[in-house]
Chains A and B, each alone.
Chain A
Amino acid sequence: MKKTELPRWATGFVLPILNLMSALLVAALVIHLLGESPSASLRILVDSAILDPEGLAYTLFYASTFIFAGLAVSIAMQAGLFNIGAEGQMYVGGLGLTWAVLALDAHLPGWLMIPIAMTGAAAFGALWAFIPGYLQAKRGSHVVVTTIMFNFIAASLMNFVIVKYLIPEGQQNPASRVFADSAALPLLNKILPVLGDTPLNISFIVAILALVIYGVVVWRSSWGYKLQATGLNAHAAHYAGVKISRTIIVTMLVSGALAGLGAVNSVMGSTHYLSLNFPAGAGFVGIAIALMGRQHPVGIFLSSVLFGALIQGGFDLSLEKPNIPQETFIFIQGLIILFCGAMENFYAPAILKLINLTRPNKGA
């Protein structure tokens, strides 16, 4: 029998690697055209983002945010929803946690303050995703369109709230006041001094926990089963008694909450205040991560680390190689989205042919 589809090791492993290699190859070509050596650049990238402990800490710090963004996009994808709005949901999630912190940080100890702030972030992120979810479920407004619009609304809303209400008197910087120490996330360098003066914090551990819970919920629970059924075939899900509109709304709530939690890492772990446009595109990176990681916890983790490494390494690269601008990261990110998202199955026919060639011919 001739195989007509790829085995799982090929779709889950070989294809992403080939796609990633293609993206990096194009990036190398561009770096070469910029007059720098691709191999030297790669060495700097790997050295500063992975091999150096402090660099690795920064990589994982960025990755923590990305894991949440990737999870937010992934869980929606499981239900067949393309949530483009993780950026806006993360942004509004930041408002939720800031609100909680500004109100309570003078009164509460850290062990109480931090969970409450996290809940605030999740709740506000969920709320921001609820409206697109509701409109999709009840009115058929496409969630792609509404979540994109809600990103813009979030940007304007946050601009308004920060400038109008959050700037402390006498300050110019469009940002909230600095949080009290009780709202600062414990840093991992307390336990691992080798990490140096880096902002890697317990968000990373929470993110790993979220990955595990996501895996269990999607593949082991009845709710995850219904979620996947809805995403794969809504007709059949209806036949199976799944309440489609409720599933859509709840999924968007969870997705938004995960995106909202993504705000915790940078706001409470690094800057310690709410600033304008703090997600800086992390929500959009989540889309690339979900696509590249194929909505699988391990895939999401690896791609988050990759994107974290690209930011960290790209930053150092631009310092050492003046010909390579810092925007190279965005460029490489775009290439990865192109190859892993839009051209996901580009190599599939070739691999299939190769597998069929190497297999001994059994039967007809």
Chain B
Amino acid sequence: MQSAVEFRNISKAFGAVQANADVSFPIAKGSIHGVIGENGAGKSTLMSILYGYYNADSGQVLVDGQPRSIRTSHEAIALGIGMVHQHFMLVENMTVLDNVMLGNEGGVKLAAKRGAVEATLREICDRYRLDVDPLATVHDLSVGAQQRVEILKQIYRSANILILDEPTAVLTAQETASLFEILRLFKEQGKTIILITHKLQEIMEITDEVTVMRAGRVVGAVKTAETSREQLAGMMVGRPLQSELPRAPFNPGADVLKVSNLQLKDANGVALLSDIGFTLRAGEIVAIAGVSGNGQSELLEILSGMRLPTSGRVEFLGRELPYGGRANADGLPATFRALGIGHVPEDRLRDGVIKDFSVMQNTVFGYQDDVKNRWGLFDYKKIAQRCAHLMTAFDVRPNNPDLRIGLLSGGNQQKVVIAREVAAQPKLMLVGQPTRGVDIGTIESIHTQLLRLRDEGVAILLSSVELEEVRALADRIIVMCGGRIAGILPIDEFDTTRIGLLMGGMHNSPARHRA
């Protein structure tokens, strides 16, 4: 069978992070091809290369058997490649018709073209049963309908190869079912679909072939009919780390953190966290596993004081954390820090550092009121000494305290953040994605630091989308899915398949599996 798209030895690096390494696989014409992998496995980078957002460092992309260099998304569209992004690219206060025509107006006079386009759209909607009114305003449409508008846009631009990036992340079960109907119709018309997802059930349900990616590489390519969810989950999360880092025997102390019945709703009343309850003891690392966006970020934000819970109770060292009686969390992180809660935030550049401050300035970030004299002025001599000490102890490179931290690599930025939080000698350390965007060489040094902290009796709650990391660090694992705790298991019951299924929203009981 001829392939619609073929990747040949695609490699792409961002700084020290290898996002794609030697990726090669064909996508058969007229098929639905699934690409799965954990967050950061390189799926999106690969699709961005196909769609012309990024240029590969090396390798070739073949479209319909011809080697093509796709430098912009315009070129991709001209080759019949269309992409439906996870976040829709629609102008909300314009009609469906105008959204489709945007960028395709074809001249100054709109009115004449409008009629023709509208007729075409109605015809496409009928053919693919899209059920979208071209004259409706986008913000009046449901999320599922907005997605269909995106698809409509691609068909109108005569896309033969459609890339869908996590299309079901925002859909209800019924909307997902109807999306799959549309995709099957598509396939019948001879079009090719590339489906990027981390939901195993969808892969099993709709794809013909699956490519599994991990850490930028292709780790498996199978026909869907010849595989199983378990096999895919195993490939996706990979085997455990080869070398085990030294750690003291598990000997937890007193309860440090006790979370009970924690709830969080967003402004629209949608539940982000439901019935969260667990206990964390001194000298213990509890790792939250889960696909990102399942409530882990919100949980850490609440526990660090950056966000208020809707209801629930959190005890820290036997005292209830002061969430009550506030309109917002403004300034609350300072209170929590003073109580002994350290926080390494998951999005370093958004929360953890000020990119335009020097490394030295960043080593007091969050502790700025602890390093002032009685006039409110910084004692720069003391700060410089402290900074020099931290940079040496945590091996921050280059060892230049006056460099803007934005110029450091992700791994070294993370070392600065961890050094700063460790230096405050917290009783509880919250760590979000300890090694996201961190070069491989630095990962082990960060893991070693966290384990040392645990051995010294600090309670550590970390969240990670990397199961290997969870495996390497945790004493106990909390699996989260859809804002709930899907399961809590001790490390000796670690089982990638079981955790993968819990993460994917599938329960343990075989009765609930769908064949």
- Tell me the A residues contacting B by CB distance below 8 Å: 216, 220-223, 225-226, 228-229, 232-233, 235-246
Contacts and interface: CB of A to CB of B under 8 A. Distances in A.
Contacts of B372: 221-222
19 contacts: A220-B378, A221-B375, A221-B377, A222-B378, A225-B368, A226-B368, A228-B357, A236-B350, A236-B352, A236-B354, A238-B333, A239-B304, A239-B343, A239-B345, A240-B333, A240-B334, A241-B333, A241-B366, A243-B331
Interface of A is mostly: helix
Given A222-B368, A232-B356, A238 B350 contact: no
B432 to A, nearest CB: 11
Contacts of A221: 372, 375-378
Contacts of B375: 221
A254 B366 CA distance: 23
Contacts of B335: 241
A229 B334 CA distance: 14
B361 interface: yes
B369 interface: yes
B354 A235 contact: no
Interface string B41-66: 00000000000000000000000000
Given A232-B355, A240-B368, 12 more contacts: A216-B377, A220-B378, A220-B380, A229-B354, A229-B365, A233-B350, A235-B351, A238-B329, A239-B304, A241-B332, A244-B330, A246-B331
A239 B352 contact: yes
A233 B355 contact: yes
Contact of A241 (B334, B361, B380): B334
Interface string B339-379: 00001010000111111110001001110110110011110
A49 to B, nearest CB: 36
Contacts of B321: none
Contacts of A246: 330-331
For chain B, give the interface size range. 20 to 34
B427 interface: no
Q: What are the 4 closest A-B residue pairs judged by CB atoms, nearest first?
A: A241-B334, A243-B331, A240-B366, A239-B351
A333 to B, nearest CB: 29
A302 B355 CA distance: 28
Nearest to B353: A236
A147 B306 CA distance: 30
Contacts of B352: 236, 239
Contact of A232 (B330, B354, B368, B380): B354
Contacts of A233: 350, 354-355
Given A233-B355, A240-B365, A243-B330, A225 B378 contact: yes
B366 A239 contact: yes
B257 to A, nearest CB: 19
Contact of B376 (A223, A228, A239): A223
Contacts of A216: 377
B454 interface: no
B331 A222 contact: no
